[in-house]
């Protein structure tokens, strides 16, 4: 496994991108302020969060009862993390002041021994650490660390880092295999990867040890959660089906073969496993990550990068069970898949991981947020019939329009923190150069062992496949620039200083060596519209095709194509026209000829009739990028369309 690859610090990328620039600005100018209001219960018509109020009560500033979910604290941490990344990019004294005050509030709620979970502080500390399975204390710890490390990086201030370290110390004091400690681990994972960050920032090995312990204790016999259940006088909530697989805790993680259980927890765990494997150079643990990753991408991944097919337990389902309409596909799970993909890439240099990361990011992640940044999907279906959402209980979890805020508000701030830190994902450096993982316009400063450089990237990606890079500055030795050739791309060309060149190709990158100041490189990715098929084992997509152009999955919406999308079909030889349109914030829309089944030949009132060649009329199908669906009111949507061979 590789240990030489590094993510680009957020503040070393100045985004100037027609696609992501808008998202980052939305997060800064709209999502972060809006979510601050939400955390303070000041959004009219939205479910109250109670989050800040809980901290105020725990800190003794107010009296009252704990409200909201048991993991409500984590919403503030996620918000602080998004704010930290935003501050790195765009200093903002007012935002930093709000964040500092929030951190003071958090600090005031902290107990003398470092403990910090408002649910137990308010409801009785005697019960803390008695229900790790369900009560999310360690999940809150994890998100606190994620935020605190980001905030320290953004501002140089250590206060929040110290608060989080003290809580981590408290957890380490109580949990472990040593006599007198509880042999527990998180019910909802995230602390694992967070502790590795805390270790990286503080250099304190104890945090890496705690992360390792959490990972290796998980699923050991006797099962800790089973013991907790017995002590609480209950049986596993998921006893009828998922059992402790819901928590990825039915067996030790090194023996697990498939991605199972609650999808967000799962991908967070696997990310933590990758982190620990890398830091401890544990090839066996890394092999488990690779095995599970393979299971996901080969058998449990939606075309959009969504994961978690089942609403029951918000969980992975069995292999190839990928219903487009019953899907859960939580935004947070796609976010977590991006975390995992990035880690797997950084441990291998293999761009196939980035293909999945890009798939999720451009489709199933950003579909979670409306174009105005003010409403959010928890569930990201690939096929929606609004009447089913309203009237068919099987689809009660699927919302046909995004919601303002959720009582369980994990997804909106999770999106905000990912988008704010997108530079971490777009660029990677190693000892002799830089990797362009994703294509975003802007200015990048980077360092390798032998140089400091600066690039200016210009592109209209994902609408256009041309990526142009100018080496603005190189101090020190020349460097290698590796530009990713996406897995979806079947034809590309590279130009260096105006002339076509044959780059070195390796692990999905086109590498240009010895790059010097003043040089210019252009990657031209051919970006035709492609029809996509799913493996014949996927029942839901049998006889259907989807449409992609570049990294974007497209869909049909009722707004463009009328109702009854199931009546439409796509000829296998369809010719597509792609046109940039001033709609949905500016998108390349696609059109092609299709067919629509009509009612012609149906006797009034017949529900069934003897089959005959069906009446169809020619129609023009209009496709929009999947991420932009449901921004024009409620209507049907479908990614997979019947194909006419």
Residue 537 beta carbon to its own copies: minimum distance, rounded to whole angstroms: 7
Stretch that binds its own copies, among 77-85, 272-280, 463-471, 565-573 (CB under 8 A): 565-573
Residue 491 beta carbon to its own copies: minimum distance, rounded to whole angstroms: 12
Is 391 among the residues that bind its own copies (CB under 8 A)? yes
Chain position carrying tokens 């309409």: 325
Rule CB under 8 A: choose which of 60, 64, 614, 633 binds its own copies. Answer: 614
Rule CB under 8 A: choose which of 431, 500, 505, 566 binds its own copies. Answer: 566
Residues 409-448 contacting its own copies, CB under 8 A: none
Do 615 and 572 touch, CB atoms closer than 8 A?
no
Chain position carrying tokens 């999955």: 553
Q: CA-CA distance, 62 to 398, in Å (whole number)?
A: 37
Is 393 among the residues that bind its own copies (CB under 8 A)? yes
Q: CA-CA distance, 214 to 185, in Å (whole number)?
A: 5
Known catalytic residue: 96?
no
Residue 434 beta carbon to its own copies: minimum distance, rounded to whole angstroms: 29
- Please give the structure tokens belonging to residue 494: 């590279």
Q: How many residues bind its own copies (CB under 8 A)?
A: 62
Residue 529 beta carbon to its own copies: minimum distance, rounded to whole angstroms: 11
Residue 363 beta carbon to its own copies: minimum distance, rounded to whole angstroms: 12
Per-residue mark of binding to its own copies, 71-90 (x: CB under 8 A): --------------------
Three-class DSSP category at 293: helix
Q: CA-CA distance, 445 to 14, in Å (whole number)?
A: 9
Sequence length of the chain is: 645
Considering only CA atoms, give the Rg of the chain.
25
Is 642 among the residues that bind its own copies (CB under 8 A)? yes
Residue 154, CB half-sphere, CA atoms under 13 Å: how many? 30
Rule CB under 8 A: choose which of 257, 394, 513, 620 binds its own copies. Answer: 394
Residue 546 beta carbon to its own copies: minimum distance, rounded to whole angstroms: 8
Rule CB under 8 A: choose which of 537, 580, 617, 633 binds its own copies. Answer: 537
Per-residue mark of binding to its own copies, 90-129 (x: CB under 8 A): ----------------------------------------
Question: Of the two residues 285 and 384, which places its CB atom closer to its own copies in the complex?
Answer: 384
Residue 479 beta carbon to its own copies: minimum distance, rounded to whole angstroms: 34
Rule CB under 8 A: choose which of 28, 299, 402, 417 binds its own copies. Answer: 299
Rule CB under 8 A: choose which of 65, 241, 372, 514 binds its own copies. Answer: 241
Rule CB under 8 A: choose which of 255, 407, 476, 543 binds its own copies. Answer: 543
Question: Of the two residues 250 and 471, which places its CB atom closer to its own copies in the complex?
Answer: 250
Q: CA-CA distance, 165 to 168, in Å (whole number)?
A: 5
Rule CB under 8 A: choose which of 1, 532, 583, 619 binds its own copies. Answer: 532
Question: Of the two residues 97 and 566, which places its CB atom closer to its own copies in the complex?
Answer: 566
293, 339, 338: which is closest to 316 by C-alpha? 293
Spatial neighbors of 515 by CB under 8 A, at least 6 apart, are 433, 453, 471, 474, 478, 479, 480, 481, 521
Is 539 among the residues that bind its own copies (CB under 8 A)? yes
As beta bridge partners, residue 592 has 621
Q: CA-CA distance, 643 to 621, in Å (whole number)?
A: 13
- Please give the structure tokens belonging to residue 75: 């919403």
- Omega into 462 within 30° of 0, i.e. cis? yes
- Please give the structure tokens belonging to residue 65: 């009862």
Known catalytic residue: 104?
no
Is 610 among the residues that bind its own copies (CB under 8 A)? yes
Do 485 and 504 touch, CB atoms closer than 8 A?
no
Residue 567 beta carbon to its own copies: minimum distance, rounded to whole angstroms: 6
Residue 92 beta carbon to its own copies: minimum distance, rounded to whole angstroms: 41
CA-angle at 428, arms to 427 and 434, nearest 5°:
90
> Exposed, middle or buried, 458 (CB in 10 Å: 0-12/13-18/19+)?
middle
Rule CB under 8 A: choose which of 534, 555, 592, 624 binds its own copies. Answer: 534
CA distances from 18 to 21, 22, 625 (A): 6, 7, 15
Residues 208-237 contacting its own copies, CB under 8 A: none
Residues 569-608 contacting its own copies, CB under 8 A: 569, 572, 597-599, 602, 605-608
Residue 130 beta carbon to its own copies: minimum distance, rounded to whole angstroms: 29
For the chain, the straight-line distance linking the first and the last C-alpha, in angstroms and rounded, comes to: 45
Catalytic residue among 146, 314, 383, 557: 314
Residue 595 beta carbon to its own copies: minimum distance, rounded to whole angstroms: 11
Total Cβ atoms within 10 A of residue 184? 25
Is 491 among the residues that bind its own copies (CB under 8 A)? no
Helix axes 331-346, 352-359, angle to 10 degrees: 160
Do 394 and 326 touch, CB atoms closer than 8 A?
yes
Residue 552 beta carbon to its own copies: minimum distance, rounded to whole angstroms: 14
Residues 441-480 contacting its own copies, CB under 8 A: none
The phi and psi torsions of 14 (rounded to 5 degrees) equal -100, 105
Do 127 and 183 touch, CB atoms closer than 8 A?
no
444, 494, 430, 504: which is closest to 467 by C-alpha? 494
Rule CB under 8 A: choose which of 234, 239, 452, 535 binds its own copies. Answer: 535
Chain position carrying tokens 């001033």: 582
Do 643 and 531 touch, CB atoms closer than 8 A?
yes
Phi-psi group of 177: left, alpha or beta (phi > 0 → left; psi -120 to 50 → alpha; rest → beta): alpha
Stretch that binds its own copies, among 143-151, 340-348, 389-397, 406-414 (CB under 8 A): 389-397
CA distances from 569 to 233, 294, 572 (A): 55, 32, 9
Catalytic residue among 170, 410, 555, 592: 410
Per-residue mark of binding to its own copies, 306-345 (x: CB under 8 A): ----xxxx---xx--x----x-------------------
Is 387 among the residues that bind its own copies (CB under 8 A)? yes
Residues 126-155 contacting its own copies, CB under 8 A: none
Rule CB under 8 A: choose which of 65, 113, 283, 298 binds its own copies. Answer: 298
Stretch that binds its own copies, among 169-177, 447-455, 492-500, 535-543 (CB under 8 A): 535-543
Do 266 and 332 touch, CB atoms closer than 8 A?
no
Q: Which residues contact its own copies (rule: CB under 8 A)?
A: 240-241, 294, 297-299, 301, 303, 310-313, 317-318, 321, 326, 385, 387-388, 391-394, 396, 490, 530-539, 542-543, 545-546, 564, 566-567, 569, 572, 597-599, 602, 605-614, 642-645
Residues catalogued as catalytic: 314, 410
């Amino acid at each position: 496994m590789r240990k030489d690859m590094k993510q680009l610090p957020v503040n070393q990328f100045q985004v100037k991108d027609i696609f992501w620039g808008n998202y980052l600005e939305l997060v800064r100018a709209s999502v972060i302020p809006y979510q601050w209001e939400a955390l303070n219960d000041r959004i009219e018509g939205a479910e109250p969060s109670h989050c800040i109020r809980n901290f105020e009560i725990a800190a003794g500033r107010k009296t009252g009862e704990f409200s909201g979910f048991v993991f409500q604290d984590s919403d503030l941490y996620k918000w602080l993390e998004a704010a930290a990344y935003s501050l790195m990019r765009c200093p903002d004294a007012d935002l930093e002041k709000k964040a500092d005050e929030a951190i003071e509030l958090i600090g005031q709620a902290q107990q003398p021994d470092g403990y910090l979970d408002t649910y137990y502080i308010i409801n009785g500390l005697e019960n803390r650490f008695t229900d790790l399975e369900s009560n999310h204390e360690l999940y809150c710890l994890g998100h606190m660390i994620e935020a605190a490390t980001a905030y320290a990086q953004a501002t140089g201030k250590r206060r929040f880092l110290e608060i989080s370290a003290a809580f981590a110390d408290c957890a380490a004091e109580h949990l472990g295999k040593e006599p007198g400690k509880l042999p527990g681990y998180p019910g909802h994972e995230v602390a694992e990867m967070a502790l590795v960050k805390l270790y990286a920032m503080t250099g304190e090995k104890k945090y890496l040890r705690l992360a390792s312990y959490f990972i290796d204790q998980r699923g050991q016999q006797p099962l800790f959660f089973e013991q907790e259940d017995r002590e609480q006088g209950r049986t596993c909530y998921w006893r009828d089906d998922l059992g402790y697989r819901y928590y990825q805790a039915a067996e030790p993680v090194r023996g697990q073969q498939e991605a199972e259980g609650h999808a967000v927890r799962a991908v967070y765990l696997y990310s933590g496993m990758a982190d620990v494997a890398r830091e401890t150079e544990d090839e066996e643990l890394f092999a488990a990550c690779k095995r599970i990753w393979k299971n996901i991408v080969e058998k449990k991944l939606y075309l959009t990068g969504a994961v978690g097919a089942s609403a029951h337990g918000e969980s992975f389902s069995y292999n190839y069970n990928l219903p487009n309409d019953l899907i859960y596909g939580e935004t947070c799970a796609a976010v977590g898949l991006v975390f995992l993909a990035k880690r797997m890439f950084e441990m291998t240099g293999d761009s196939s991981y980035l293909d999945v990361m890009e798939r999720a990011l451009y489709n199933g992640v950003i579909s979670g947020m409306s174009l105005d940044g003010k409403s959010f999907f928890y569930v990201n279906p690939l096929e929606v019939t609004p009447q089913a959402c309203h009237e068919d209980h099987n689809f009660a979890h699927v919302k046909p329009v995004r919601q303002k805020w959720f009582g369980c508000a994990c997804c909106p701030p999770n999106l905000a923190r990912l988008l704010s830190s997108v530079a971490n994902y777009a660029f990677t450096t190693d000892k002799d150069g830089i990797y362009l993982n994703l294509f975003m316009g802007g200015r990048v400063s980077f360092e390798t062992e032998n140089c400091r450089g600066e690039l200016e990237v210009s592109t209209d990606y994902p609408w256009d496949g041309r990526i142009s890079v100018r080496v603005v500055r190189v101090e020190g030795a020349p460097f290698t620039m590796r530009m990713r050739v996406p897995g979806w791309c079947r034809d590309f060309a590279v130009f260096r200083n105006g002339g076509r060149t044959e780059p070195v190709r390796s692990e999905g990158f086109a590498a240009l060596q010895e790059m010097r100041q003043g040089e210019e490189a252009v990657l031209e990715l051919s970006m035709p519209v492609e029809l996509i098929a799913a493996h014949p084992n996927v029942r839901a997509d049998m006889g259907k095709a989807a449409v992609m152009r570049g990294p974007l999955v497209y869909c049909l919406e009722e707004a463009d194509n009328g109702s009854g999308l199931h009546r439409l079909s796509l000829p296998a030889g369809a010719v597509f026209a792609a046109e940039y349109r001033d709609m949905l914030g500016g998108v390349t829309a696609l059109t092609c000829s299709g067919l629509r089944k009509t009612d012609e030949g149906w006797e009034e009132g017949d529900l069934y009739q003897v089959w005959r060649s069906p009446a169809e009329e020619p129609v023009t199908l209009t496709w929009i990028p999947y991420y932009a669906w449901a921004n024009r009111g409620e209507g049907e949507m479908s990614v997979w369309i019947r194909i006419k061979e």
